[in-house]
Structure 1
Amino acid sequence: MTQPSPPVEGSRVGIGRASRWWLPAAVAVVGFCWFGALSIGRWNDGHVANYDLGIFAQGAQSWAHGHLPVSHIRGMRLLGDHFSPILVIWGGLWWLWPDPRVLLLTQTVLLAATLTLIVAVAQRRIGTRAAVAIAVIGLLSRGVLTADLYDVHEVAFAAPAVAILCVALLRRDFRWCVMASVALVLTKEDLGLTVLAAGGCWWLLNRRDGWRKPFILLLIGVLGLLTAMVVIAHFSGGGQSGYLGYFGSGGPRGMTTPADHSITPLRLLPVALFLATTMIVGCRSVLALLAVPTLLWRAVSSNEHYWSLDFHYDLVLWPIALLAFVDAVQRHGLPRARSVLGVLAGVGVVTNVALGVWEVRLKAATPAQTLATAPVVRAIQRLAAEHVPAGARIGTQNDVGAYLVARYDVYSLHPGPSPTVGYAMFTSEDTWAFPLPVCARDALTAKGRSTPGWQVWQDGTVTLVKFASVQVAPVTCR
Structure 2
Amino acid sequence: MTQPSATADTPRAAAVRWGIVAGAVATVFYAVLALGRWNAGDSADYDLGIFAQGAEAWSRGHWPQSDIRGLSLLGDHFSPILATWGVLWRFWPTPPTLLITQSVLLGAALGVVVGYARRRTGVRVALLIAVVGIFSRAVLTAAMFDVHEVAYAAIALAVLCIALLQHRFGWAVAASVWLVLTKEDLGLTVFAAGFCWWWMYRGEGWRRPLILAGIGVAGVIVAMLVIGAFSPGSGSGYLAYFGIGSSNKLPVPEDHSLSPQRLLPVLMYVVLALIVGVRSKLTVLAIPTLVWRGVSSNIHYWALDFHYDVVLWPIGMLAFVDVIERYGVPRLRSWQSGCVGVAMVAGFALAVSEMGDRSVAPGSFFHTAPVVENIRALAAAHLPHDARVATQADVGAYLVPAYDAFSLRPDQHPSVDYVMFTSKPKWTYQVPVCAREKLVREGAQVWRRGTVTLVKLPYRQRVTPTC
- TM-score when normalising by structure 2: 0.96
Which SS does the other structure have where 1:316 is aligned?
helix
- The structural deviation recorded for 1:361 is 2.5
- The structural deviation recorded for 1:468 is 2.6
Structure 1 runs not aligned, ≥5 long: 1-9, 449-453
- Contact 2:68–2:406, Cα closer than 8 Å, also in 1: yes
User: Cα 1:16–1:413, aligned 2, differ >3 Å: closer, same or farther?
Assistant: closer
Does 2:465 align with 1:475?
yes
Deviates more, 1:438-447 or 1:272-281: 438-447
Does 2:314 align with 1:319?
yes
- The structural deviation recorded for 1:18 is 5.2
User: Cα 1:269–1:406, aligned 2, differ >3 Å: closer, same or farther?
Assistant: same
User: Cα 1:277–1:377, aligned 2, differ >3 Å: closer, same or farther?
Assistant: same
Structure 1 segments of 4+ aligned residues over 6 angstroms from their partners: 10-14
Equivalent residues, number? 463
Correspondence list, 1:45-56, <5 A: 45-56=40-51
Residue type at the aligned position of 1:464: L
| Among 217, 220, 227, the residue aligned to 2:215 | 220
CA distance in structure 2 between the aligned counterparts of 1:275 and 1:433, rounded to whole angstroms: 29
| Among 450, 453, 456, the residue aligned to 1:460 | 450
Root-mean-square deviation (Å): 1.8
CA distance in structure 2 between the aligned counterparts of 1:430 and 1:51, rounded to whole angstroms: 19
User: Cα 1:235–1:444, aligned 2, differ >3 Å: closer, same or farther?
Assistant: same
CA distance in structure 2 between the aligned counterparts of 1:314 and 1:55, rounded to whole angstroms: 21
Aligned to 2:175: 180
Aligned to 2:396: 401
| Among 395, 415, 418, the residue aligned to 2:413 | 418
Which SS does the other structure have where 1:314 is aligned?
helix
Deviates more, 1:310-319 or 1:228-237: 228-237
Aligned to 2:107: 112
Does 2:354 align with 1:359?
yes
CA distance in structure 2 between the aligned counterparts of 1:17 and 1:380, rounded to whole angstroms: 50
Residue type at the aligned position of 1:440: A
CA distance in structure 2 between the aligned counterparts of 1:220 and 1:20, rounded to whole angstroms: 31
- Contact 1:41–1:364, Cα closer than 8 Å, also in 2: no
- Contact 1:398–1:431, Cα closer than 8 Å, also in 2: no
| Among 305, 309, 313, the residue aligned to 1:310 | 305
Does 2:37 align with 1:42?
yes
Residue type at the aligned position of 2:62: H
Aligned to 1:292: 287
User: Cα 1:320–1:252, aligned 2, differ >3 Å: closer, same or farther?
Assistant: same
Aligned to 1:153: 148
User: Cα 1:438–1:322, aligned 2, differ >3 Å: closer, same or farther?
Assistant: same
Residue type at the aligned position of 2:198: W
CA distance in structure 2 between the aligned counterparts of 1:180 and 1:25, rounded to whole angstroms: 20
Residue type at the aligned position of 2:452: V
> How far does the alpha carbon of each residue in 1:212-249 deviate from its partner, in whole angstroms, 9 at most, with x for none?
00000011000000001111111112122111111111
User: Cα 1:424–1:142, aligned 2, differ >3 Å: closer, same or farther?
Assistant: same
Residue type at the aligned position of 1:459: R
Does 2:149 align with 1:168?
no
User: Cα 1:292–1:140, aligned 2, differ >3 Å: closer, same or farther?
Assistant: same
Aligned to 1:236: 231
- The structural deviation recorded for 1:430 is 3.6
Does 2:367 align with 1:372?
yes
- Contact 1:399–1:431, Cα closer than 8 Å, also in 2: no
Residue type at the aligned position of 2:445: Q
CA distance in structure 1 between the aligned counterparts of 2:279 and 2:241, rounded to whole angstroms: 32
CA distance in structure 2 between the aligned counterparts of 1:406 and 1:31, rounded to whole angstroms: 28
> How far does the alpha carbon of each residue in 1:354-389 deviate from its partner, in whole angstroms, 9 at most, with x for none?
101221233143233221100000000110011101
Does 2:22 align with 1:27?
yes
> How far does the alpha carbon of each residue in 1:7-32 deviate from its partner, in whole angstroms, 9 at most, with x for none?
xxx99999676555442232122111
| Among 375, 387, 393, the residue aligned to 1:392 | 387
- Contact 2:249–2:411, Cα closer than 8 Å, also in 1: no
- The structural deviation recorded for 1:256 is 2.3
- Contact 2:408–2:464, Cα closer than 8 Å, also in 1: no
> How far does the alpha carbon of each residue in 1:42-80 deviate from its partner, in whole angstroms, 9 at most, with x for none?
000000000000000111111011110111101111111
Which SS does the other structure have where 1:313 is aligned?
helix
Residue type at the aligned position of 1:404: L
- TM-score when normalising by structure 1: 0.94
Correspondence list, 1:75-90, <5 A: 75-90=70-85
- Contact 2:152–2:182, Cα closer than 8 Å, also in 1: yes
Which SS does the other structure have where 2:360 is aligned?
coil
User: Cα 1:11–1:332, aligned 2, differ >3 Å: closer, same or farther?
Assistant: farther
Which SS does the other structure have where 2:310 is aligned?
coil
CA distance in structure 2 between the aligned counterparts of 1:475 and 1:286, rounded to whole angstroms: 50
Structure 2 runs not aligned, ≥5 long: none
Correspondence list, 1:249-264, <5 A: 249-264=244-259
Aligned to 1:3: none
- The structural deviation recorded for 1:98 is 0.6
Aligned to 1:61: 56
CA distance in structure 2 between the aligned counterparts of 1:87 and 1:243, rounded to whole angstroms: 20
Which SS does the other structure have where 1:466 is aligned?
strand
- Contact 1:80–1:241, Cα closer than 8 Å, also in 2: yes
CA distance in structure 1 between the aligned counterparts of 2:131 and 2:244, rounded to whole angstroms: 42
- Contact 1:149–1:364, Cα closer than 8 Å, also in 2: no
- Contact 1:444–1:474, Cα closer than 8 Å, also in 2: no
Which SS does the other structure have where 1:470 is aligned?
strand
CA distance in structure 2 between the aligned counterparts of 1:358 and 1:11, rounded to whole angstroms: 47
- Contact 1:242–1:255, Cα closer than 8 Å, also in 2: no
> How far does the alpha carbon of each residue in 1:416-448 deviate from its partner, in whole angstroms, 9 at most, with x for none?
442110110000014542210011111212232
Residue type at the aligned position of 1:307: W
- Contact 2:390–2:420, Cα closer than 8 Å, also in 1: yes
Aligned to 2:267: 272
Q: Percent identity?
A: 54
User: Cα 1:19–1:236, aligned 2, differ >3 Å: closer, same or farther?
Assistant: closer
Aligned to 1:74: 69
User: Cα 1:111–1:417, aligned 2, differ >3 Å: closer, same or farther?
Assistant: closer
- The structural deviation recorded for 1:258 is 3.7
Deviates more, 1:315-324 or 1:332-341: 332-341
CA distance in structure 2 between the aligned counterparts of 1:404 and 1:111, rounded to whole angstroms: 26
